[in-house]
Amino acid sequence: MTSVTAGYVPFPAFRDWHVDFDATVVDQYVFRLARVRESATPETQHHALEIATRTAAVDTGAIEGLYATDRGFTRTIATQSEFWERALDARGEQTKRSIEDAMNAYEYVLDATTRSVAITANWIRELHAIITKHQATYTVNVLVDGVEHSVERPLPHGRYKTDPNHPTNRSTGRVHHYSQPGDETVSEMLRLTDELASAAFAATHPVVQAAYAHYAYVCIHPFADGNGRVARALASVYLYRNPGVPLVVFADQRDQYIDRLEAADSGNPVPFINFLADRVVDTIGLVNQSMVQPDAMSEVLAGLSAALNPDPAPTELTLPAERLLAACATHLQRVVNALTLPGAVTLYVFPSRATSDTGVPAGYFVPTMPNNEVYVAAYVGGAPAIHRHDYLLTVTTDSAQPTFQIISSGGAEPLDVWLREIEPTLTASLELKLSTWAESAISRILSAVQAAVSVE
């Protein structure tokens, strides 16, 4: 055993890492994955794996707080759905670069797996350099006259730490010790890669391999920053080998993830191994569901759209149209929420699909979308709706006209919206225009309700 500094608890040798792992569920999913792949084309298999890889890359930085994400954003980037590049640009240059660095790192891992590259200390240093390429600095806490201060320092890429990076639990004051910089870190990294190349390690289940590689690596914490991202990419090496998927941990799973790692620190690695096993099952499910024939699906949808609507909205207008309709519903609901209505009166805002194109202006058409209108229904007491106003979204490809018009069944003037006002995001002026429009719309329906009640 290498001599170590007081406080640092060396990671256990693999032969001493006692685990009781039931692989039954994982192996069932691995078998299912193999069966689905048999009937999928190489292109479809590649597409499905790419979705899983990009998912892992997007959320790995979010776990560390480098940027915020959510399942919708992750899905948009991972599936490269329409306007995904604009969605990425909208998060800012640093977020974009961090995600691109992570994607390159996972490609590096996948390439090493495909070519059976040995996992050495130098290989891990190169992985760190790739995954942190555009991270210029990191934050470190230093004591100045007995007071802790956070300072920014340049981040060395692919080079081991030169200062201790032991974190302190703010609630308990307990210091968690990683390896000391210098010889201890170097020797521990060499010991780690020796363990990863051992016969005992090679003979165990891939989930256990991934968990051990991840856990042992974070015990060392060899770099000043970026260790969590490297650990998840390193674990992916063994899962790419078998069953052929990366480790995907979503940002909203962070607390559970950290809890399981802390349990391993306390000598019980099973919760952490089971956590990784659950992530593997989930990722296999994602890959299986992604292995549909996208071209065939597109053809079916195109034929269905043509049958239902001879003038579907151009592809580049679909997302802005959906965004505009959602914004209309949001502003209408905001006005409703702010009202103090008489106890018997209730207003509901509903998205829906129009069944008629009556009143659509010349040169405009109703786009083929799951929802292409929003309506407000008014109820008094328990009776059926006493009044309803529909707001239908229409589109034109005539660049000389407003791209969108919201047509009201209540007879109000159409709401004109240009594409430039909503793409890539809603402008402040459009938000203000929608706010005024929504207030007028709700005022009109309340007037109609008042008139109907007065007649009764």
Question: What is the SS3 assignment for 140?
Answer: strand
| Structural domain contains residue 188 | yes
Q: Which of 235, 257, 292 marks a domain boundary?
A: 292
Beta-carbon contacts of 84 under 8 Å, excluding residues fewer than 6 positions away, are: 76, 77
Domain count, the chain: 2
Is 276 in the same domain as 368? no
pLDDT digits (tens, 9 = 90+) for 264-313: 998 999 999 999 999 999 999 888 888 854 545 555 555 555 555 555 55
Q: Which range is least confidently modeled, 100-104, 128-132, 378-382, 438-442?
A: 378-382
| Structural domain contains residue 300 | no
Is 45 in the same domain as 143? yes
Identify the CATH number of the domain in which residue 107 sits: 1.10.3290.10
| Structural domain contains residue 40 | yes
Q: Which of 243, 265, 292 marks a domain boundary?
A: 292
How far is Cα 379 from Cα 182, in angstroms, rounded to an integer? 73
| Structural domain contains residue 1 | no
Provide the pLDDT for residue 384: 67
Is 248 in the same domain as 321? no
| Structural domain contains residue 201 | yes
pLDDT digits (tens, 9 = 90+) for 117-156: 999 999 999 999 999 999 999 988 776 676 777 889 999 9
Is 71 in the same domain as 41? yes
Higher pLDDT among residues 103 and 426, named by residue: 103
Backbone angles phi, psi at 149, to 5 degrees: -125, 145
Average of pLDDT values for 373-377? 91
| Structural domain contains residue 298 | no
Is 258 in the same domain as 152? yes
Is 64 in the same domain as 164? yes
Provide the pLDDT for residue 1: 43
| Structural domain contains residue 302 | no
Q: Which of 257, 292, 327 marks a domain boundary?
A: 292
Is 233 in the same domain as 331? no
Is 133 in the same domain as 93? yes
| Structural domain contains residue 5 | no
- As a whole number, the mean pLDDT across the chain is 87
Q: Which domain holds residue 208?
A: 14-292
pLDDT digits (tens, 9 = 90+) for 178-209: 999 999 999 999 999 999 999 999 999 999 99
